[in-house]
Amino acid sequence: MSMGLSTRFVKFPPPISMGMRHAVNLVLALAHVAFTASSIVLSLTPQGEPSSLWQKLSVAAPITKFKLVLNYTEAAPDGFRQTLKLVNGMLDYPIVVNAGDSVEIAVTNALDEPTAIHWHGLFQRGTPWMDGAAMVTQCPIQPGETFVYKFSVGDQVGSYWYHAHHKAQYVDGLRGPFIVKDSKAPFADQYDDEIVITLADLFHNKSSFLLDYFFSPNEGTLDPVPESLLINGVGYYPCQFAPLGSKCTPTTFPSNEVVFGKRYLLRIINMSGEAAFTFSIDGHNLTVVEADGVYTVPTVVDQFPITAGQRYSVILNANAKVSNYWIRADLDEQLYFPAPIDLNGLVPYARSILRYKGAAKTNPTTKAAQNPTVLNPFNLGEYNGTPLTQLVPHLGDTMYMNFKILSDGDNNITTATVSAGDFVDSQWQPPSYPTILDVLDDVRLPDSTNGVEVSNDSYLLLHITNDDPMEHPFHLHGHTFWILLSGKLLFAPSTLPSANYTVGLPRRDTIQVPPLHGRKRRLRRRRMRQRIRGHHHPLQQPRRLAVPLPH
């Protein structure tokens, strides 16, 4: 029986608390201890006949049209006035469609540089040339030109986002949420309203400057630290750090109003270039029901980690005392170590206010939960998903990928490669001709492309090892993947675990590959692995990855 991406859902069972899952996880951990590898399964499914598929979809489904104008706009999201690249003059310009819709999105490039827009998490089945990865699936949109993206969201639903996919442009502001509503969601009767919450990092230097920094001699191993962190496009920057002659005005905290007794679906989207957060709301627990467009076993937590490119939907019950509560997004500071976090004035957290209707318009005085229950993303199973016992018979080819940081001795530049038996140890170089056209013309790709030939309806087992002391989000275009194993690598498993894993495996399109651990300047090799069915995101990527896995 073919295991595709579509799943028929039934009514949600009562939420599972993380405490209830600990015993199960302990058994699984013991069963996996001999392997101690993190694994992800990659499954590729039939794509259909491209041109005829679009014609069928455009006739059968409503066509929703949007116009996006990319231009330079003066703005001060954190109080510091600067020129950003924005969509329709806005931060976080939203696109909202319904399940099954076809879309036509006219993107006009009013910038003075080329660009392209990627639709993060959307499969683009039958329309891979609409994926928006510049020089991979299309030529960039030149200044003054308009390109119309045409595709169907198909049977995908949930929380996605879009962003520029040319160099590291989207950290300049070219990004926004893309929501696919589902009236038949298994939890549709468990909430009364929706709230979209975006998280992002903000730099006062342009992305072109940051890329030059990445590839500059004597750069060492320091990652660029943002000046502020944003929730729904608003952040805080201490104006005393602003350069002389610049304009800076302190901001106020943004807020979301809720009504006592109502239930809310919160869609949290991390649109950062690099920043990862721990998200929580004081005085409220959160029931996770979706991750990266995939419905999950409803799981009650106090907080959860969210890396660049990831999305979670949670249900919040507004049943606390009518008051004001902090919405917290605390930065994972380890991503920048050993760079000093406060070098540019960064406050290592973002804050917003959950304000009950009728509460005074004052800042909260609430505290974060003590001994919080934290989501483990590697154990967040898909609702009505595929269990490991059903997946094992379909597993075939295995590939190994190792992220590692190398020093370019001639130029003293820290670079990254992806290497192992299946990959060429070479830094990826942007091609002069879109890769998709080379593939269609049967032209041999350069070794640095690390192209992998696969067949439709095949399954691929992918081991990913992270040899870097920081975690890396891995995102796969056009697919989702099942997460099988994660942990410290002692040796490669020759077989999969024999545990009777009968619940749905986690299925994602973006997952954090955990870091190795080190002490002082000497790194203790602690390799982490993962196995996948589906792609990767931007400030970590240009320096640290050698294959064109965007994000």
Lowest mean pLDDT among 123-137, 153-167, 189-203, 460-474: 460-474
Say if residues 137 and 434 touch (Cβ distance below 8 Å): yes
Per residue in 269-328, pLDDT (tens digit) is 999 999 999 999 999 999 999 999 999 999 999 999 999 999 999 999 999 999 999 999
Q: What is the DSSP letter of 423?
A: B
**Chain-centre distance for alpha carbon 467:** 21
> Token pair of 241, please?
């750090």
Say if residues 496 and 330 touch (Cβ distance below 8 Å): no
Say if residues 149 and 103 touch (Cβ distance below 8 Å): yes
**How many Å from the N-terminal Cα to the C-terminal Cα in the chain?**
34
Count CA atoms closer than 13 A to 467's CA, side-chain side.
Answer: 15
- Residue 61's pLDDT band (cuts 50, 70, 90): low
**Chain-centre distance for alpha carbon 481:** 13
pTM score of the predicted model: 0.84
What is the chain's length? 551
Residue 200 pairs in a beta bridge with 230
Spatial separation of the C-alpha atoms in residues 127 and 74, rounded to whole Å: 35
- Residue 444's pLDDT band (cuts 50, 70, 90): confident
- Residue 488's pLDDT band (cuts 50, 70, 90): low
Lowest mean pLDDT among 18-22, 316-320, 401-405, 461-465: 18-22
Q: Which of 94, 178, 75, 101 is nearest to 132 (CA)?
A: 178
Query: Is residue 11 predicted with pLDDT exceeding 60?
Result: no
**Per-residue pLDDT averaged across 247-259, rounded?**
96
At a CB cut-off of 8 Å and minimum separation 6, what does 88 contact?
67, 68, 69
Quote the pLDDT of residue 29: 22
Query: Is residue 435 predicted with pLDDT exceeding 60?
Result: yes
Tell me the three state secondary structure of residue 321. Answer: coil
CB neighbours (10 Å) of residue 319?
Answer: 11
Q: What is the DSSP string of 139-184?
A: PPBPTT-EEEEEEE-TT--EEEEEEE-STTGGGGT-EEEEEEE-TT
Spatial separation of the C-alpha atoms in residues 540 and 494, rounded to whole Å: 31
- Residue 27's pLDDT band (cuts 50, 70, 90): very low
The overall average pLDDT reported for the chain is: 79
**Per-residue pLDDT averaged across 242-267, rounded?**
96
Per residue in 184-226, pLDDT (tens digit) is 999 999 999 999 999 999 999 999 998 888 777 665 557 789 9
Quote the pLDDT of residue 92: 96
Quote the pLDDT of residue 528: 24
Query: Is residue 544 predicted with pLDDT exceeding 50?
Result: no
Spatial separation of the C-alpha atoms in residues 271 and 121, rounded to whole Å: 12
